[in-house]
Structure formats: structure tokens, C-alpha cells
Structure 1
Amino acid sequence: MAAELRAAGLIIFRRFSGHIEYLLMQTSYGEHHWTPPKGHVDPGESDRETALRETQEEAGLTENNFKLMESFQKILNYKVKGQPKTVIYWLAELIDRDSQVKMSDEHQDYKWLSLDEACVLAKYQDLQTALKDAHSYINSQL
């Protein structure tokens, strides 16, 4: 039996002109789907370490650029090619307004989007739910 596929990432948001916007990145492979930065957990690495490493690798953003909200965590479970996969997301607020997203080769585009726009691009129901839950959490913290 194959090991469970496991990935971790960050739902990154920024407050812009009174609105909340989410960072989604479009993969440069497969169906070119849109997701927050995330990636596979390496052996010996914690989920949190993976989320931070993948965000740096894929978006060029580090903990100097954002504030991690560890009290928000969303776990998604689904199948990829018949294999169960678990993805853990934390929430992070971009605090360095001048920070630029620097994409890796794994992505061909990125966008800062309102919740509604993000849910349109995030085709998967569980990701849409994660974004909506994040949005509710952000608003409850204001």
C-alpha cells in the first residue's frame, strides 16, 4: 500500500483598500488549477515547516512578509488518482506591503482575488469551503 499523500500550505491574504484579497497561484502543469501555495511534506519535516518552505519556494514569501495565524487550520481530504491525499492549510496575513510574489517554475500565474473571485478560480468545493472558512475567521478577528 502506498503511503498517504500529504501536503501543507498557507492561505495568504492581504487587506487592500478596505477589502480582503487572497493569493491564488496557477500551476504550470496538469490542469493548470489555482490553489494557495502548498506542496508535499518531505521526510522528517513537520506540516508547518512544509507550509513555510513551500510558500517560500513557490511564492518567494517568508515569515518576514506575513504573520502566521496558527489558530486557524483547515484539513482537506480527497483522492488524487485513486490515492487518498491530505492537505493542511494555515492562514497567513501579508504584512509587508512591498513584498512581491516571486513565482517558481511550478506556476505560470498568480492573482490577488476577492473571496468570490477566488472561489470561482478554486474549482474544488473543499478549497472553496476552506477559503470561506478563512474569510469568516478573518472577519471574526476584526
Structure 2
Amino acid sequence: MTLRQCAAVLLQNSDGQILMVKQNYGQRFWSLPGGVVDPGETPLQAAIREAHEEAGISIALQEVLGLYLLQGGGWPDIQAYVFRAHILDDEPRIMNPQEIAELRWMDLQALPDWVPRDVSAAFEDLQMQKQGVIRTVQRIIPLERMV
């Protein structure tokens, strides 16, 4: 069985703020631009595609901030890649309002109370000035709360 993968990008502006997207489906969580790696696609390609699909931007990947194995909560395990990147052109804008409700640059100290566990792990690693982290993280929301 192949492990499901997702990829996200951590983008910071010149003030150090992080670009966050608010999902317009499910529990409407705030997260980083990103999503599932499609069949035949690499995590690198998925990160670039998702940044364009969700925020209308072209990006250049800089480094792997972290590789996080998400486990627990009754969900299948997922390998989550979080890349640091910078914007090549354009201002972030919502491309698909059915998928994304809001885009916002946020201060690291004023991020939403709850974000997906791979994203919160990436924020922890960013604050500790780590990169290339590989670790397992446990989900804190069980699947039954999501349905």
C-alpha cells in the first residue's frame, strides 16, 4: 500500500508574516497553501501547483522545512511535505472561492488557535530555526469530529 502524500508551502513576506489560507469546506480550518499529491506528481510539483491553484501565485521552492508523518485520530497515515518558498510574481488572490474562503498574511505570534498538526509542527520548527526536519506527529482531532 502506498502512503498518501500532501505538500504545502510556507511563504513569508518582507515583514516575516506567513501566508495563510482559510478552507471553504469541512471545518474551514486555516492552513498553508497546499494539498494532496496527485498520481504521477511529485511533492515538489504538488506544492507549486497548489500555490497557484489556491493563491494564484508562481513560486520558487527554497528548501524542505519539514517532512512530517501524520498519524492517529482514526485517519490513514499521511506523509506531509512542507517547503519554504518565495513568490516569483503576482499578489496572492483567491482563485477558487469554493475551496478557499480567505487569504491573509499573519504574524507568527498571531496565528489561528488551531491549524492542522503538520502545519503547527512546521511553525514550531520555523521558530526554532530548523530546516530539513523529519518527524512523526500525532493528530489531535479524531476523524469522528470531522464527519
What TM-score comes out, normalization by structure 2 length? 0.74
Please provide the CA RMSD for this pair. 2.3
The code of the aligned residue for 1:75 comes to L
Alignment of 1:131 onto 2:123? yes
Alpha-carbon displacement from aligned partner over 1:93-125 (angstroms, at most 9, x marks no partner): 3465xx32121231101110111112x344345
Aligned counterpart for 2:47 among listed residues 38, 45, 51: 51
Counterpart in the other structure of 2:79: 86
The code of the aligned residue for 1:34 comes to W
SS in 2 for 1:83: coil
Offset at residue 9 of structure 1 (A): 1.6
Q: Sequence identity, in percent?
A: 24
Distance (whole Å) between structure 2 residues aligned to residue 124 and residue 54 of structure 1: 17
Counterpart in the other structure of 1:100: 91
Counterpart in the other structure of 2:102: 109
The code of the aligned residue for 1:100 comes to E
Alignment of 1:37 onto 2:55? no
Counterpart in the other structure of 2:68: 76
What TM-score comes out, normalization by structure 1 length? 0.76
Check the 8 A contact 1:14/1:95 in 2, yes or no: no
